[in-house]
Amino acid sequence: MNYYLRNMSIGNKMKKMIVFVVLWSILTIPLTLFSQGKKLDFKTDFARFKTEDNKDIYVEIYYSFLREGLTYLHTNESFQAGCLLQTYIQKGKKAMRVDSLVITDTVQSLEEISATQKFTEQTNIELAPGEYKLFSRLTDLVSKKSVVDSQSLKLAPFSGEKLTMSDIQLAARIARQAKAENKFDKSGLRVMPNASLAYGTGFSHLLYYAEIYNLKFRPNEKASTFRTSYIIKDPNGNIVKQVEGAVRQKPGNSAVINGSFDLTDLVSGFYTFSIEVIDDADGSKAISSKNFSIYKPEDFIVKTTSKPLPKVEVRVNEFKDMDEKSLDAYFDKVKYIALKDEKKIFKKLDRNGKINFLLEFWARRDPEPLTKVNERKEQYLQLLRYADEKFATGKKAGWKTDRARVLLVYGRPDEIERFPSDNSYKAYQVWHYYNLLGGVNFYFVDFRQVGDFILVHSNHPDEVHQEDWRDMYARLR
């Protein structure tokens, strides 16, 4: 028995075209636009699988983006949004489009949209062995904003005899599905991908799917079994979780393995998940690995809630003489470190409420509440002044720049590499944080060549990801 049950359907093109025309007919009517003020947070991933004839490689390309990153049109009865997802494969100087999807969304109220809701999509394609470049572009059809993600795609032939494995696919949900009905169905399962490869608060279970090939299948022998082991390592190679799987009967020359890992006890950082398979017939082994990340905001918040907060009356009330417009302007400068619920609450308050809110906002972040000085607040305001002084360009205030946001959220970098412009590239900077999540880098390009360095790539799970940033954004055309 071989597990090569694939669904190559990518949807009805005529249906996509109808949706596209309908959406654009809506756009021709003067309507109010509502942006959630969030980035699309477009993420892509892929997994490689063996085909039945083993001539080509079966590739699944996964996508995800935040629902609240879309811009919505307000009609009389609802809010509508739409986006265009296009995928291209490049080999050498030749490129072809392999998929084009229009995704629409309608809600009765923007309150229906939450921070954890994501759209998930997938493209299935067979490709000959070789080295490719994968480009995926997501365009908001209302705001016209777009984001591109690119990855190198190396396709090596699977062995025809040696024990081997597919890539590990990380999933958001896995359920039994007897009959393949859509692109997410395979091997009797519906596997919804987790293209972000990220986990954290409220999403702490790692679900996985993988395939094993070339098992020595001897149904009448006791050795017709195989074993699996599962390991999670931190960036230093230390094992932080390890589980020995049960001995399994071989269903045939190939097999499917899927399951879950509880990541609740792991702290924020980057990790590697590995599956090792041992064929009991001859002791042969195969291993497959996948990188993922964990980000929990609470890991970076000073936990002072158990301590008694000083009464606001004993502190100098610097906000008491501010009008509401000034209070809003002040909060704009500190909202980089505000929680989502705090932002929502602040918007609904009147002037007196906002004054008390700001006093308590800083009190909750005070690492030493019983001292006169709020060290966290002083540090933030010092960095704010530095950003205004060093990063301002033209009419754009320094605190509004990408470098300022990174500085205010993550603090001063451990090292900054500065690369001036030359005949081939625009000026760019690389900020290194060696102790953040096991090592994080931020890449900024002076895209317009006016001194305003834009964040174009980072390996932080909550930031923009664009591995091909140097050629896409820094290269002079």
- The proportion of the chain whose per-residue pLDDT surpasses 70, expressed as a percent, equals 88
Indicate if the pLDDT at residue 313 is higher than 80.
Answer: no
pLDDT digits (tens, 9 = 90+) for 202-256: 788 999 999 999 999 877 766 689 999 999 998 888 999 999 988 999 999 999 9
Contacts of 46 (CB under 8 A, 6+ apart): 59, 60, 61, 62, 134, 151, 153, 167
Cα angle at 146 between 440 and 16, to 5 degrees? 125
| Per-residue pLDDT at 125 | 95
Which of 294-298, 429-433, 447-451, 463-467 shows the lowest per-residue confidence on average (mean pLDDT)? 294-298
Give the whole-angstrom CA distance, residue 87 versus residue 199.
25
Order of strands across the sheet that contains 43-50? 43-50, 57-66, 118-127
Are β-strands 285-295 and 198-200 bridged in parallel, bridged antiparallel, or unpaired? parallel
CB environment 321-350: b (16+ within 10 A), e (fewer) = ebeeeebeeebebbebeeeeebeeebeebe
Indicate if the pLDDT at residue 13 is higher than 80.
Answer: no
| pLDDT-based confidence at residue 165 (cuts at 50, 70, 90) | very high
Neighbours of 268 (CB within 10 A): 19
CA atoms within 13 A on the CB side of 221: 12
Tokens representing 322 are 């501010």
446 pairs with which residues across the strands? none
Neighbours of 125 (CB within 10 A): 17
Domains of the chain: 1-157 (2.60.40.3880), 159-298 (2.60.40.10), 301-373 (no CATH), 391-477 (no CATH)
| Per-residue pLDDT at 300 | 61
Tokens 């001036």 appear where? 420
| pLDDT-based confidence at residue 27 (cuts at 50, 70, 90) | very low
User: Whole-structure pTM over 0.85, yes or no?
Assistant: no
| pLDDT-based confidence at residue 31 (cuts at 50, 70, 90) | very low
| Per-residue pLDDT at 222 | 64
Tokens 């834009």 appear where? 454
- Measure the N-to-C terminal CA separation of the chain; round to a whole number of Å: 54
The average confidence (pLDDT) of the chain is 85
SS (H, E, C) 148-161: EEEEEEEECCCCCC
- Longest alpha-carbon distance in the chain: 86
Give the whole-angstrom CA distance, residue 445 versus residue 467.
13
| pLDDT-based confidence at residue 157 (cuts at 50, 70, 90) | very high
CA atoms within 13 A on the CB side of 317: 13
pLDDT digits (tens, 9 = 90+) for 360-419: 889 888 888 777 888 899 999 999 999 999 999 988 999 999 999 999 999 999 999 999
Look at residues 122, 84, 80 and name the one whose alpha carbon lies nearest to residue 105.
80
pLDDT digits (tens, 9 = 90+) for 420-440: 999 999 999 999 998 888 789
116 — phi, psi (to 5°)?
A: -95, -5
Indicate if the pLDDT at residue 312 is higher than 50.
Answer: no
Q: Contact, 442 vs 430, CB < 8 A? A: yes
| Per-residue pLDDT at 134 | 92
| pLDDT-based confidence at residue 124 (cuts at 50, 70, 90) | very high
Indicate if the pLDDT at residue 11 is higher than 70.
Answer: no
